[in-house]
Amino acid sequence: LAMLAELREALADDDQLFLLLHPTVVLEDCRTVSVEALVRWRHPRRGELTPVHFVRTVEQSDLLAPFTRHVLDLALGVSARLRRLGVDVPVSVNLSPRSLLDSELPAVVADLLGRHGVPASGLVFEIIETVAISRQPVVDEVLAGLRTLGVQLAVDDFGTGFSALTFLTQVLVDEIKIDRTFVTGMSSSAEAAAIVRTTIDLGRELGLRVVAEGVETTAQRKALVGFGCQLAQGFLFHRPVPVDVMVRTLEDSV
């Protein structure tokens, strides 16, 4: 309860919630092709908190919609700032599965895109597969509403949820992000390697972008290239960085 009150304050404060950005790169030349927004909470007493410390509380309260809006506002602010510098890379935002039960979401997204002057194609929502099994009508409606706007959808942590492959075809998804546990497991587990390899093939067959998450070693990078993977995210390439750092880095690249 104390945390809820503090979160309410954080949402009204310009300084407490902020984003780190984590690039996705092309494996071949390490060029940044998109940035993922990762929210952090600069708590007045407890210091910098990661989402594991507060997202569940947010999801179980009436703060989810304002929180989602706040993160989206920050992320689109970043996008607008990059675009003014001539850097045209999509920004991806992680969505709580419960946000897909909010039928107002597409209208909120449309409003914020308009305010920031960012085209819908510049926004990617990362959703987890688990949303596929509930498939309540409102979820379909919200996903369809987002698709109609032209927002892109990525399946995050692919392979770890309750997978419904029909989800990939019924919901028009643009991208699959292979969960980090499979990438980490590749070197010691033939099964993990097989899952990575076949997910890359699946993505290619379905015409989807495939991003390997959590790439930390050059051996993993080589294996992924060998499997025909083109995109990756991970500490080998970048750590999540503050917005100002990312802006300076990308500014130098144009």
Q: Are 90 and 76 in contact (CB under 8 A)?
A: no
Q: What is the separation, in whole angstroms, between the first and last Cα of the chain?
A: 47
Helix (H) or strand (E) holding 17: strand 17-26
Number of Cα atoms under 13 Å in the Cβ half of residue 229: 32
What character string, x for contact with ligand G (CB under 6 A) and - otherwise, covers 106-145?
----------------------------------------
The residue from 102, 129, 156, 179 that contacts Mn ion (CB under 5 A) is: 156
Least separation, in Å, of the C-beta of 119 and Na ion? 24
Nearest CA among 93, 77, 65, 73 for reference residue 8: 65
The reply to whether 213 sits near Mn ion by the rule CB under 5 A is no
Least separation, in Å, of the C-beta of 183 and ligand G? 8
Q: Name which of residues 83 to 112 contact Mn ion (CB under 5 A).
A: 94
Q: Name which of residues 35 to 54 contact ligand G (CB under 6 A).
A: 38-39, 50-52
Q: Which residue has 């025909």 as its token pair?
A: 228
Q: Are 236 and 27 in contact (CB under 8 A)?
A: no
Q: Are 211 and 176 in contact (CB under 8 A)?
A: yes
Tell me whether residue 58 or residue 82 sits nearer to ligand G (CB atom): 58
Query: Which residues of this protein are in contact with Na ion, per CB under 5 A?
Result: 156-157, 177, 213
Binding-site ranges for ligand G (CB under 6 A): 22, 38-39, 50-52, 55, 71, 94, 96, 156-157, 180, 213-216, 233-235, 240
